[in-house]
Amino acid sequence: MKKNPFLQLGVIALSLLSSASYGQTGTLNISTDSKTTISKHIYGQFAEHLGHGIYGGFWVDKTLPVKKQDRIRLDIVDALKKIKIPNLRWPGGCFADEYHWRDGIGPATERPRMVNTNWGGITEDNSFGTHEFLELCDLLGCEPYIAGNVGSGTVDEMSKWIEYLNSNSTSTVVQLRKKNGHPAPYKVTFWGVGNESWGCGGNMTPEYYTDLFKRYASFAKDYPGGRLKKIASGPNSDDYHWTEVCMKNIPNWMMSGLSLHYYTIPTGNWGKKGSATDFSEKEYFGTMVNCLKMEELVTKHSAIMDKYDPEKKVALVVDEWGVWTDPEPGTNPGFLYQQNSLRDALIAGTTLNIFNNHSDRVRMAALAQTINVLQALILTDKEKMVLTPTYHVFDMYKVHQDAKYLPIKLSVPDYEVDGKKIEAVNASASQDASGKVHISLVNLDPHNTITITTGLSDVKWQTVSGQVLTSANLTDVNTFKDTNKIHLSTFSGAKKDGDKLVVSLPAKSVVTLELK
């Protein structure tokens, strides 16, 4: 056994129960010596004008027989409120850099139509615009995160959008907002200055983008009650040069965050990504190897940021992440609709553990995407709705939001396929304001139960309870005919043994425990 390379070290050494009788075994030590908070904004979501994410997802036809406010679908709102999503990123993605905000305000019947050139070439009527998005955020009880148009928009256009949203002056643009039905300023704070400027956002060099960022950011003004948290368009995956240039050229006081985008591609091949539901164990193993690369990316980008920002004032914002497979057969390939299996849940749990364990630098993230697109939380078909396995992971992990991060030290068996190895278990832990300790564990091994013995000598607790998410097969999914095939269950595989915790993790499972 070896030490887990992607979990935070520097924890107290604790005596451990002998594990000789448990077969596949591991150990987990937890320390309460921490001053870091796991920001709730790590659990953010992403809703782009793409496929049926907005239209047919959040925003439905007036005749659809579901409960609605205006055209916002309320069963979706209720489901997302349950998992306490903290922020929602909009309108893109690649769509953001061809979106002109004035097209999406005023009477819906008078709004100009546009062609979504990035995603399917469909015509959009702009009926879902700024006011509708902010009404959605209000219903969800989450903060809006708007990505501004740098690729095809002007400095004045972005500046005026912010004024429209946040100012309470008597200017013409503010009067226009009031005329359109919102007298008070919205006070939006999270603001993306462009998206993927290295690619669909303009195919720029980092040197060019950083100069452009400073220009746009200079005219992105703060208004009372709405001080902007400006987020720079950061690197694609392992483009460490992009991060270096951004951190070197953009003053820390000018940006609150630097974005990072990374998708888990099962095959590692963008041309043929692999199926969401039909894959072998070898393909599953390769997918998890690619998922675990997030640890390397976060570590290396953070190290570069530390050189220029040792006080960690600038957050690493992983505002696009998740598994990206081939679209479901028979669907529009430009809509990026894919099913969501138990494998996706293991990816979600593993990635969130990585973020939690790097919460000193990773303070915001957004899963791509919320509804009907990529690794969605929710799938819909007209009035039907299904919660995916990934949704249930976010439900389990909501206990970590704004909780005290607890450093951990993990030693576990390897999971091996064709002579290649990854660690079978990953984990993260936190302590909430009431003193309850929560531990989330993911067993990536599809065959073996693994017993973890946890040292907790500096944690006072009497009882342990928990939830588990698993299923018979890695390829299992929830469907509109069988909506509850993969669901949360009460976990009974943990027990107190003296001052230690002994946990039997089922194969291919996600478990969250509560100690109190």
Q: Catalytic residue, from 48, 98, 163, 196: name it.
A: 196
- The confidence score (pLDDT) of residue 499 equals 84
The C-alpha atoms of residue 166 and residue 411 are separated, in whole angstroms, by 50
Contact 414, 342 (CB under 8 A): no
pTM comes to 0.94
- The confidence score (pLDDT) of residue 456 equals 84
Question: What's the number of CA atoms in the CB half-sphere (13 Å) around residue 149?
Answer: 17
SS3 assignment for 333-382: HHHCCCCCEHHHHHHHHHHHHHHHHCCCCEEEEEEECCECCCCCCEEEEC
The C-alpha atoms of residue 303 and residue 284 are separated, in whole angstroms, by 30
- The confidence score (pLDDT) of residue 501 equals 95
Give the list of residues 6+ apart from residue 333 with CB closer than 8 angstroms, or none.
327
- The confidence score (pLDDT) of residue 84 equals 98
Residue ranges matching CATH 2.60.40.1180 in the chain? 2-34+406-515
Q: Classify 328 as helix, strand or coil.
A: coil
Q: For the chain, 516 residues long, give each residue's pLDDT as a single digit of tens.
A: 444 433 333 332 333 333 333 359 999 999 999 999 999 999 999 999 999 999 999 999 999 999 999 999 999 999 999 999 999 999 999 999 999 999 999 999 999 999 999 999 999 999 999 999 999 999 999 999 999 999 999 999 999 999 999 999 999 999 999 999 999 999 999 999 999 999 999 999 999 999 999 999 999 999 998 899 999 999 999 999 999 999 999 999 999 999 999 999 999 999 999 999 999 999 999 999 999 999 999 999 999 999 999 999 999 999 999 999 999 999 999 999 999 999 999 999 999 999 999 999 999 999 999 999 999 999 999 999 999 999 999 999 999 999 999 999 999 999 999 999 999 999 999 999 999 999 999 999 999 999 999 988 788 899 999 999 999 999 999 999 999 999 999 999 999 998 899 999 999 999 999 999
> Known catalytic residue: 514?
no
Residue ranges matching CATH 3.20.20.80 in the chain? 39-402
Class of domain 39-402: alpha beta
Alpha helix stretches (DSSP H) within 106-196: 130-140, 155-166, 172-179
The beta-strand segments (E) located in 70-171 are 72-73, 87-90, 114-115, 123-124, 143-148
Q: Catalytic residue, from 48, 132, 320, 423: name it.
A: 320
- The confidence score (pLDDT) of residue 23 equals 58
> Known catalytic residue: 157?
no
* Residues 146-182: b if buried by 16+ CB within 10 A, e if exposed: bbbbbbebeeebbbbbbbbbbbbeeeebbeebeeeeb
Q: Does domain 2-34+406-515 have CATH number 1.10.760.10?
A: no
> In terms of Cα–Cα distance, which of 54, 92, 69 is closest to 138?
69
Give the list of residues 6+ apart from residue 352 with CB closer than 8 angstroms, or none.
42, 43, 393, 394, 397, 400, 428, 440
